[in-house]
Amino acid sequence: RFQACVYFASVFQAMSCGIHYLASVFMAVTPNFVCGFPGNVSSVLFHNSSASSIEDIWTLWTSTENYIVVQLGNGEIWELDQCSRSKREVSLDLAYEYKGNKSVFPCSDGFLYDDTKWKSTVVTQWDLVCDREWLAKLIQPTFMLGVLIGAVIFGDVADRLGRQRVIWFTSAGQFVFGIAVAFTFDYYSFVIVRFLLAMVSSGYLVVAFVYVTEFVGIKARTWASMHVHAFFAMGIMVVALVGFLVRTWWVYQIFLSIATLPFVLCCWMLPETPFWLLSEERYEDAQKVIDTMARWNKVSTPCKVSELCSVQQDDLASGRMGDDDTSSTKKHNILDLFCNWQIARRTITVWLIWFTGSLGYYVFSLSSVSLGGNEYLNLFLIGAVELPCYIIACVAMDKLGRRNTLIPFLILSALICVLIMFIPQDFNILIILANMAGKFSIGVAFGLIYLYTAELYPTIVRSLAVGSGSMMCRVGSVVAPFCVYLRSIWIFMPLVATVYFFQLLVGIMALLSGILTIMLPETLGKPLTNTLVEATEMGRNKKSCSEKTPPAHSGAALEKLEMFGQERVNADK
């Protein structure tokens, strides 16, 4: 009961992370637009269609190369392009085609936007078009840069100060910064506040994985960890639903941020994990958490920390109660992920998988935007398709193991990337199916690596390892949006060739990651390690482990925390 309440409370907030990650999909939409004009319009002409206002013309707009002809109340005739406007020298006849002289002017009177779908976006509010278009294209990359930095900072802070404090701070930060985004007064304040929002959102997601991993037992660890991703995907579906219902960007942002409020009101009740408390030698605090778990789970004879970790009773009583305790716990940093060759090789492989999974996920997603149809339904399905992906991943991870599931799905995604390049462009359905299969396979690997990373590293650097891996993941996320803009930069490189280039890149990296994963140890059914010595010995034979693993703080002893409650319940029965 206790673990279930802690778990569902924690993963509920992961839904808001998915919301903020994808919010800019509709918030930063660039609708159809043309240059503004000086004066009142009396007639509008678009090819062979005429109207009394420009709003009636937007339904006929098909290309950015089109222009609109307007006649003003004073008789002047103007041609309105997207980034310029031309005044006809001869205004005798209102016709769409004109061969005479024209005077070209900049868009000093602003722009006119199509508000058929969206009443207001950040693009329309601050005119992020034409020579300011690059500012709109930086909105998502700067957010992902904040995600990258937040993953490293809060992962390290969680290992130093504890998971509980970071959970509190990042949860409150998501609500505060989420609401603040809606009330920003210009583009630069908008980007800065969203950057801070990205940092706390990323920090929460990284620490939440570690938090639930350290609270649930071995049997439930796979499903519990993977379904954090499922709640993230549900956040994507919430974005699609709210985007369909609310068409003003700042109201849309407020509604999305309100989803965070219920957790903010109750997150202060979440306890610190016993694993972290024991790694910090705070035995008395760990005992209090265990006693609370026993009361919630109706266990009449709760376990003692001294039974689990072979700690003397007097050490348990004193713990870390006094400030005069002369013992000091070593503070760890990212260099500990390269403390020896085995750990360094493991770190490099894990980082490569994180980067490949993120880049592949976004490349396949970007390839799917050409499906057409309703964009709100498309985004909803993009989130929904991840749910069966994680269920299959969970079954495979429990049956085959983490490593044996990761390797084939990485290699499969590499093969699909190569296959897509040989499918003729006329076979649209086959291309769509191949893209969805590629996204599915890379999604399994992307979701699996969170749990696998948490299990590969000891308690003292676990948050740091997940955070640094998430940092590499966000490097891929920062790179991916620029792939969309590549066609406007490399005009000699068609979109299809651009997509194929990055799919080939993902395929090569996925194949390399799959080969390197063979050297990683299997963690299925094994206890969480607590020291770097134990993590180094993971995967070797039992004799080596028994000779070199310190008995006082062994991961196996700590892992009894996960199984002891159930044993006590069975004994009571």
Cα 123–chain centre separation: 23
Confidence of residue 107 (pLDDT cuts 50, 70, 90): confident
Can you read off the two tokens belonging to residue 428? Answer: 């649209």
Residue 189 has pLDDT above 90, yes or no: yes
Q: Looking at residue 199, what is its pLDDT? A: 92
Residue 549 has pLDDT above 70, yes or no: no
Instruction: Report the pLDDT averaged over residues 112-119.
Output: 85
Q: Looking at residue 499, what is its pLDDT? A: 53
For every residue of 39-96, DSSP letters joined together read S-EEEEEETTEEESSGGGTGGG---TT--EEEEETTS-EEEE-SS-EEEES--SS--S
Q: 3-state DSSP call for residue 385?
A: coil
Half-sphere exposure (CA, 13 Å, Cβ side) for 140? Answer: 22
Pick the CATH number of 337-538 from 1.20.1250.20, 1.20.140.10, 3.90.79.10, 1.10.150.120: 1.20.1250.20
Residue 111 has pLDDT above 80, yes or no: yes
For every residue of 438-468, DSSP letters joined together read HHHHHHHHHHHHHHHHHHHS-GGGHHHHHHH
Domain with CATH 1.20.1250.20 in the chain: 1-31+121-270, 337-538
Residue 319 has pLDDT above 80, yes or no: no
Confidence of residue 250 (pLDDT cuts 50, 70, 90): very high
Superfamily of domain 1-31+121-270: MFS general substrate transporter like domains (1.20.1250.20)
Instruction: Report the pLDDT averaged over residues 549-562.
Output: 44
Q: Looking at residue 251, what is its pLDDT? A: 92
Higher pLDDT, 306 or 21: 21
With the C-alpha atoms ordered 165, 168, 173, 174, is the resulting torsion angle positive or negative?
positive
Are the CB atoms for 83 and 131 separated by under 8 Å?
Answer: yes
Residue 255 has pLDDT above 60, yes or no: yes
Residue 193 has pLDDT above 90, yes or no: yes
Instruction: Report the pLDDT averaged over residues 151-173.
Output: 85
Cβ partners under 8 Å of residue 130, min gap 6: 82, 83, 107
Residue 326 has pLDDT above 70, yes or no: no
Q: How far apart are CA 169 and CA 154, in angstroms?
A: 10
Q: 3-state DSSP call for residue 562?
A: helix
With the C-alpha atoms ordered 437, 440, 446, 449, is the resulting torsion angle positive or negative?
negative
Q: Looking at residue 370, what is its pLDDT? A: 55
Confidence of residue 183 (pLDDT cuts 50, 70, 90): very high
Residue 269 has pLDDT above 50, yes or no: yes
Confidence of residue 233 (pLDDT cuts 50, 70, 90): confident
Reported as a single tens digit per residue, the pLDDT across 402-461 is 899 999 999 998 888 888 777 777 776 787 777 778 878 888 888 888 788 888 888 888
Q: Which residues pair with 72 in a beta bridge?
A: 41
Instruction: Report the pLDDT averaged over residues 165-169.
Output: 88
Reported as a single tens digit per residue, the pLDDT across 477-501 is 777 666 655 544 444 444 445 556 6
Confidence of residue 330 (pLDDT cuts 50, 70, 90): low
Q: How far apart are CA 498 and CA 492, in angstroms?
A: 10
Q: How far apart are CA 183 and CA 167, in angstroms?
A: 25
Are the CB atoms for 81 and 88 separated by under 8 Å?
Answer: no
Reported as a single tens digit per residue, the pLDDT across 16-33 is 888 888 888 888 888 888
- Centre a 10 Å sphere on the Cβ of residue 491 and count the other Cβ atoms it contains: 7
Q: Looking at residue 571, what is its pLDDT? A: 39
Can you read off the two tokens belonging to residue 238? Answer: 């919430």
Reported as a single tens digit per residue, the pLDDT across 368-407 is 655 556 778 877 877 788 888 888 888 888 888 889 999 9
Q: Which residue in 216, 208, 182, 202 sits closest to 263, CA to CA?
A: 208
Q: Residue with structure tokens 């005479």?
A: 100
Residue 180 has pLDDT above 90, yes or no: yes
Q: Looking at residue 550, what is its pLDDT? A: 41
Q: How far apart are CA 67 and CA 297, in angstroms?
A: 70
Q: What pTM was computed for the model?
A: 0.77
